[in-house]
Chains A and B, each alone.
Chain A
Amino acid sequence: MHKQRVLLVCAKHLFSESMEMVLRAATGVELLGPWAIETETCSRISEINPNVVIVVEKNARDEKAVALASAILEKYPELPVIRANLTENIFRVFSMHSYPARGMDLLKTIRRISKTAIPSNERSTKNND
């Protein structure tokens, strides 16, 4: 079975160790790392060729982690980056994709990635909150 090579990048603390535990227990995942959040991390990624990178942040404003995630996206546009932190009960997925600059592809992409539109009556209610 083909395993997804997942690189875990994080500072050493309980949350990253918890993530590591979840990923190690998962079938179909080959865990790489964990690597520290450092500037050199970005340049070393090509050596191990992961399918996904997970950056575990201290919080949503962890500048070092955000900078690293951005650098990875910049350097490896096709490599998805997942950002997770302890202060939010969500994880964020970032990926950059390149498509031919044709109207058809642009419209297809818009349809695929657009957020669900909020009906106008609900929008006005929300504005009154």
Chain B
Amino acid sequence: MSAKPARILLVDDHILFREGLAGILNAQADLQVIGEANDGLEALVKAQELKPDLILMDVQMPGMDGIEAVRQIKQNQPEMIVVMLTVRGDDELLFEALKNGAQGYLLKEIRAQGLLDMLRSALQGEAAVSPHLAGRVLAEFRRLSVGTAPEKEDAGALTERENQVLIQAADGATDKEIAAELNISLNTVKTHVRNILSKLHVRTRREAAKAAKAKGLL
């Protein structure tokens, strides 16, 4: 006996398009359109009522759009697979949809066979993103990764004042001598020393001086 077809909810305000798309999906033995909705709000209601395996959702619709609808659906039914299908490939909408929990983002310029393949992948738990959009997702991921890396490095980097304190400490100066030399209070010196030890992951001034030299900070 063949497996039950995957149950799909179609959400799109373009009735003619939806009608044809339903025909394409229903012509597949493994897919079945079990409901249709005209906007995001209707999609919320039908998602609760029908509990489909997958929702194929337009982005721009009157009333509640697809971006907000996917957010609310994923909030109420986290296991729901939602794939966006839109004419617009703007980065902002793409990233917002993915952030809100969409498992895929496809452009309507896709061919029917491509769509069917993507939906089957999504039902297997894979991401369904139009190839050139996937490139943009990776680029954004890389950009964010590069953007956060220096931050991590910065966390271990010393401030200018901490460097000055460390240079003095490495020369064997006491806290009092450092305070006098840099014209700062003793407490401030102690705070700087604590921060230096913490940032360099060491316990003593001598270790700090050694670590700083090894890292080229001195």
Whole-angstrom CA separation of A31 from B46 in the bound complex: 34
Asked if residues B13 and A13 are in contact (CB atoms below 8 Å), the reply is no
| Minimum CB–CB distance for B127 against chain A, Å | 19
B115 on the interface (CB 8 Å rule)?
Answer: yes
Given known A-B contacts A14-B110, A14-B115, A20 and B13 have beta carbons under 8 A apart: no
Asked if residues A89 and B14 are in contact (CB atoms below 8 Å), the reply is yes
Interface residues of A in 1-41 (CB under 8 A from B): 12-15, 17-22, 25
Asked if residues B24 and A21 are in contact (CB atoms below 8 Å), the reply is yes
Chain A residues positioned under 8 Å from B13 (CB to CB): 89
Q: Which of A18, A58, A91 contacts B19 (CB 8 A)?
A: A18
Chain B 9-28 interface 0/1 with A at a Cβ cutoff of 8 Å (1 = within): 00001111101110110010
Asked if residues A19 and B87 are in contact (CB atoms below 8 Å), the reply is no
Asked if residues B17 and A15 are in contact (CB atoms below 8 Å), the reply is yes
Asked if residues B111 and A12 are in contact (CB atoms below 8 Å), the reply is yes
Tally of chain B residues near chain A (CB < 8 A): 19
Whole-angstrom CA separation of A28 from B27 in the bound complex: 21
Asked if residues B20 and A21 are in contact (CB atoms below 8 Å), the reply is yes
Asked if residues A18 and B24 are in contact (CB atoms below 8 Å), the reply is yes
B112 on the interface (CB 8 Å rule)?
Answer: yes
Chain A interface size band reads 10 to 19
Asked if residues B23 and A18 are in contact (CB atoms below 8 Å), the reply is yes
Chain A 94-128 interface 0/1 with B at a Cβ cutoff of 8 Å (1 = within): 00000000000000000000000000000000000
Query: Which of the listed residues A17, A59, A91 has the most CB atoms from chain B within 10 Å of its own CB?
Result: A17
B109 on the interface (CB 8 Å rule)?
Answer: yes
Chain A 74-94 interface 0/1 with B at a Cβ cutoff of 8 Å (1 = within): 000000000010110101000
Q: Which of B15, B20, B108 contacts A19 (CB 8 A)?
A: B20
Chain A 28-66 interface 0/1 with B at a Cβ cutoff of 8 Å (1 = within): 000000000000000000000000000000110000000
| Minimum CB–CB distance for B14 against chain A, Å | 5
Asked if residues A14 and B108 are in contact (CB atoms below 8 Å), the reply is yes
Whole-angstrom CA separation of A20 from B111 in the bound complex: 12
| Minimum CB–CB distance for A36 against chain B, Å | 14
Chain A residues positioned under 8 Å from B24 (CB to CB): 17-18, 21
Asked if residues A14 and B112 are in contact (CB atoms below 8 Å), the reply is yes
Interface residues of B in 103-124 (CB under 8 A from A): 108-112, 115
Whole-angstrom CA separation of A18 from B27 in the bound complex: 12
Chain A residues positioned under 8 Å from B27 (CB to CB): 21
Whole-angstrom CA separation of A91 from B85 in the bound complex: 21
| Minimum CB–CB distance for B130 against chain A, Å | 11
Write the residues of chain A forming the contact surface with B, with a CB cutoff of 8 angstroms: 12-15, 17-22, 25, 58-59, 84, 86-87, 89, 91
**Cβ contacts A to B, 9 pairs, < 8 Å:** A14-B21, A14-B85, A15-B108, A18-B16, A18-B19, A19-B20, A22-B20, A25-B23, A89-B15
Q: List 7 additional contacts besides A14-B21, A89-B14, A89-B16; criterion CB under 8 Å.
A: A14-B109, A15-B17, A18-B17, A21-B23, A22-B19, A58-B109, A91-B16
Q: A-B pairs with the 10 shortest C-beta distances? A: A18-B20, A21-B23, A17-B112, A21-B20, A13-B109, A22-B20, A18-B21, A14-B108, A89-B14, A18-B17
